[in-house]
Amino acid sequence: MKMLTAIINKEDTGSVCRALTEAGFSFTKLATTGGFLMSGNTTLLIGVADDKVDAVIDAMASKCCRRTEIVPATASYGVTMANSYPLEVTVGGAIIFVTDVVRFEKL
């Protein structure tokens, strides 16, 4: 068994959750905040059999898209307002950690 921890952009949350549900996967959804832009993310915890990992990733990959946003430099670098300038950053996509589950119990 594997545990997938997927961090996705809040704008992709609805479509990713629908895709996983339609594919028959259960998950736990947590509201989280990223450290770089301090913006909202969603973290999904998904426990699946080893042979289902690729199916979960495929379902998420079709719904997570990268995009660019313009943000003030002060949002990420702590520069004073006098020195601030717009900064283009890439957001979206997904970060997925796949870890082995040593023990699983459903009570």
Residue 89 has pLDDT above 90, yes or no: no
Q: pTM value?
A: 0.77
Report pLDDT for 41. Answer: 87
Distance CA 37, CA 55 (A): 30
- Angle of CA points 91, 94, 77, to nearest 5°: 35
Domains of the chain: 2-100 (3.30.70.120)
Q: Are 2 and 50 in contact (CB under 8 A)?
A: yes
Q: At 25, which amino acid appears? A: F
| Residues 60, 63, 69, 71, CA torsion sign | negative
pLDDT score, position 84: 63
Query: Could you tell me the sign of the dihedral formed by the alpha carbons of 10, 67, 25, 14, in that order?
Result: positive
Residue 90: pLDDT band (50, 70, 90) is low
- Convert the pLDDT of each residue in 4-43 to its tens digit: 999 998 888 999 999 999 999 999 999 988 766 566 789 9
